[in-house]
Structure 1
Amino acid sequence: MTEAAPASRPDRPSPRTAFLLTQLGAHAADLFAVRVAELGVTPRVAGALRVLGRNPGISQRELATLLGTVPSRLVSLVDDLERWGWVERIRSPKDRRNYELELTQAGRTLLSQLRGVAESHQADLLEPLDEAEQAQLSHLLSKLAASSGMSPDGHSGYREQRDVGERAAGEQPRRSERPRRSERPRGSARSRGSARDDPQS
């Protein structure tokens, strides 16, 4: 006879809370990856565009800080964003040795589409909760994230694995991170470019 699981008490946290957070986080991440793939991008690309949309004109170093990583991890990603026509590097008027990152018109169009995807994604995930429960959940998750020292815009995909060394600057992004020509959003300035502009090698 199978032994019944002990009933949880509403006045005490479940011993499975951390496990459930992990499960829900993985589930949410997987669903988001599927949704943004329909626009031809990965969550890493979507996250970088979101931060640049909120902070126009920041440097690559500042972008890395906001994403919770180091600049060398973003070299190839920013190179590709520029090559795909979504981001441009502009010489800083404050320091001619540095560049500022700005979204192009195609990048802003893509970001607008991504915001719509993110809103639908959140609405679907939180649909079982009422408005008060959603607000409480947001507050509690923000409190946990802050206590863990997590960047609000950080993501495990950007995190530096210091125990295995930094990813070499200039290394080509993984094949799965490069959108195929047929998958790129219509707003991309490169969507009708020549074969050499195609990020798929």
Structure 2
Amino acid sequence: MVEASKTQSKSTAEEGGLDASLRSILGYTVKRTSNILQADAAGVLDRFGLRITTFSALVVICDHPDVTQSQIAAALNMERSNTVLIIDALEQAGLIGRHRVPTDRRSYALRATLEGMKIRDAAVRALAEREEVMLHDLSQEERATLMALLVRIRAQP
């Protein structure tokens, strides 16, 4: 009898029955979806020796040569102290270089190395391919609508 109860509880949890009331809350559903997409992206990026945060910083550095750590922290909405660890990891991996800013001796301009640009390009392609698989049930129009709606929500004060 106890064994049947455990099996039934496990089955209910797997079907999503335990959080049914929460699934009507948009924020909850967005968070669950985000968790799935991030875990999937983390698996893709791991093949390149990157985490989501290091990948994000690398993309910003590749797209904006001579960006500073403070600018990256602001762009990625993270604490500047956390950015230091990310930049250190990218530099140790040989993906970026630090260069003194002549007008501010406390700041470094960050630039991607050739290897960093190659890794960024390959990781972006791999993520796009994986995202295509993850979103295969959505049309291009639906994807564009979803992105536009999420951007509108993010823009709220």
Tell me if 1:115 matches 2:115: no
1:71 paired residue among 63, 67, 80? 80
Residue 135 of structure 1: aligned partner: 144
Residue identity over aligned pairs, in percent, reads: 24
Runs of 4+ more than 6 Å apart: none
Local SS of the residue matching 2:67: coil
Once the 2 structures are TM-superposed, how far is the Cα of residue 123 of structure 1 from its aligned partner? 1.4
Asked if 1:33 is matched to 2:42, the reply is: yes
Taking the aligned partners of 1:39 and 1:97, their CA distance within structure 2 comes to 31
The one-letter code sitting in structure 2 at the alignment partner of 1:107 is G
Q: For residues 144 and 109 of structure 2, what CA distance do their matches in structure 1 show?
A: 36
* Ranges in structure 2 where 5+ consecutive residues have no aligned partner: 1-16, 18-22
Task: Flag the 1:19–1:92 CA change in 2: closer, same or farther, 3 A.
Answer: same
The correspondence of residues 30-179 of structure 1 with structure 2, limited to 5 A, is: 30-147=39-156
Alignment-mate amino acid for residue 19 of structure 1: Y
Gaps of 5+ in 1: 6-13, 150-201
Question: When the two structures are superposed, what TM-score results if normalisation uses the length of structure 2?
Answer: 0.78
Whole-Å separation in 1 of the counterparts to 2:79 and 2:140: 37
Q: Give 1:96 deviation, angstroms.
A: 4.0
Secondary structure (helix, strand or coil) at the match of 2:49 reads coil
CA–CA distance in 2 between the matches of 1:70 and 1:42?
17
In structure 2, what residue type is equivalent to 1:99?
Answer: Y
SS at match of 2:155: helix
Instruction: Name the Cα RMSD after superposition.
Output: 1.9
Aligned partner of 1:164 in structure 2 is: none
Q: Name the structure, 1 or 2, with higher relative contact order (CA <8 Å, separation 6+).
A: 1
Cα distance between partner residues in 2 of 1:18 and 1:82: 36
Secondary structure at the aligned position of 2:110 is classed as strand
Using the alignment, how far apart are the partners of 1:67 and 1:31 within structure 2? 20
Question: How many residues end up aligned between the 2 structures?
Answer: 136
Shift of 1:97: 4.1
Superposed CA offset, 1:73-123 (max 9, x none): 222221221121111001123334421000011111110111102211321
